[in-house]
A = this chain, B = another copy of it.
Amino acid sequence: MSRSAAGPEIERLIQLLAKLPGLGPRSARRAALHLLTRKDKLLEPLSDAMRIACERVATCSVCANVDTQDPCAICRDAKRDASVIVVVEDVSDLWALERSGAVSARYHVLGGTLSPLDGRGPEDLNIGTLVDRAMAEEVTEVILAVNATVEGQTTAHYVTDALSETGVRVTRLAHGVPVGGELDYLDDGTLAAAIRSRTAF
C-alpha cells in the first residue's frame, strides 16, 4: 500500500512478524528494525531457535500438548497422578495450570471448543482420544478445566456426555470470587455462583 524504503526481504519479515498476536503492522516494523540492528545478539539466535522449534517440537500423541518428545514430558512423568486427567481447551491453558503448580496429574488438550458458527464440531476436537484414555482402568476422575465461557461450558457438557459410558467421575473447576478480587467489580453471575457455593468459614 504505502511506499516503503525496505527491500522485499525486509518487507516479508515485517509482514510475517505482523501475523504474531500482539503485533500490528506498525509494531511489526519496529520489531523488524530492532532485529535487523541486533543481528548477532537477537536476529540470528531467534532465527536458530525458530528453526530448532520447527524441527523438534511436535504434538503429543497422547494429550496433544506441544513438546520436543512424544509422548510429552508430562505424559512421561511417572511421578504424576495417573488416575486424574485435566481437560483443557488449549495448550496455553495447560501452561497456565502448570505455572499455578496446582495440578500434579496429566492433561488432555481438546484443541478448542465446540463452535457451530465457526463450523467446529466434535470431530474437530480431541474427544475420541479422551474417551479412550478415560476407559483405562487407572483413570478415576476427569477434571474439566475449560474456560467459563458459553463455548467452554457447551463443550464441557458435550464432553461429559461422551464420558458417561466410561464410568469416571467428571468434575469441573469451582466458580467464585477470584483471589484478590473486589465484590464491587464482579459480575452478577460470579457473585451468585460464589453465594451458591459458599463454604464454612
Instruction: Give the interface of A toward B (CB within 8 A).
Output: 2-7, 9-10, 12-13, 16-17, 19-23, 27, 29-37, 39, 42-47, 49-54, 56-57, 65-69, 73-74, 90-92, 94-95, 98-99, 101
Contacts and interface: CB of A to CB of B under 8 A. Distances in A.
A171 to B, nearest CB: 21
Nearest to A47: B50
Contacts of A44: 54
Contacts of A37: 66, 91
Contact of A92 (B23, B33, B43, B74): B33
- Tell me the dominant secondary structure on chain A's binding face: helix
| Copies of this polypeptide in the complex | 2
Contacts of A7: 57, 67-69, 73
Contacts of A67: 6-7, 10
A94 to B, nearest CB: 6
A49 B58 CA distance: 22
B29 A21 contact: no
B43 A20 contact: no
A16 B73 contact: no
Given A10-B53, A53-B36, A101 B27 contact: no
